[in-house]
Amino acid sequence: MNESTLRDFFSGDASLQELVADLHGAITDDGHGVRRHAIVDMDTEFVVLSSHLARICDAFLAGSLNHDDLRAIGFCIVASDNFDYDTDCDDGARVADVAIDWSTPEINFPIDSDHVAKWKLYLETGADTLRHRDA
């Protein structure tokens, strides 16, 4: 997975098809439960907004992205030195919450249509129906 492709999708400079192609094989499993995330760093910083992740939710709900794609995107955002979000403001805190949830669904919430719809609502409005009803 290339951070630059994800950035370009967020900024509108890459299509969903380009993102899907880049995500192919982003997570590998060694057969013993060890997952590896192959990430190619970009050379610039980019601020991730909740509206960017809401677009990812839309693509998942439309059937264009799958569970592993969201997991790879979440991990990439959390692990990156180049994707920024300000956790001291509401928007950045929502980005952090959702990216962390996506990166570790076995600890947080399963990545499925019901949860993705709730993440989208949270990203767009701040209404956190996920943690209160499902936790």
Burial zone of 103 (CB within 10 Å; 0-12 exposed, 13-18 middle, 19+ buried): buried
Paired tokens of 40: 């190619």
Task: Report the alpha-carbon distance of residue 67 to residue 59 in Å, rounded.
Answer: 11
pTM for the predicted model, two decimal places? 0.89
Return the number of other C-beta atoms located less than 10 Å from residue 81's C-beta.
9
> What is the tens place of the pLDDT at every residue in 9-33?
999 999 999 999 998 877 657 666 6
Q: What is the pLDDT of residues 36-74, one digit of tens each?
A: 667 778 999 999 999 999 999 999 999 999 999 999 999
Domain hosting residue 7, numbered range: 3-134
Looking at residue 61, its pLDDT comes to 98
Q: What domain count does the chain have?
A: 1
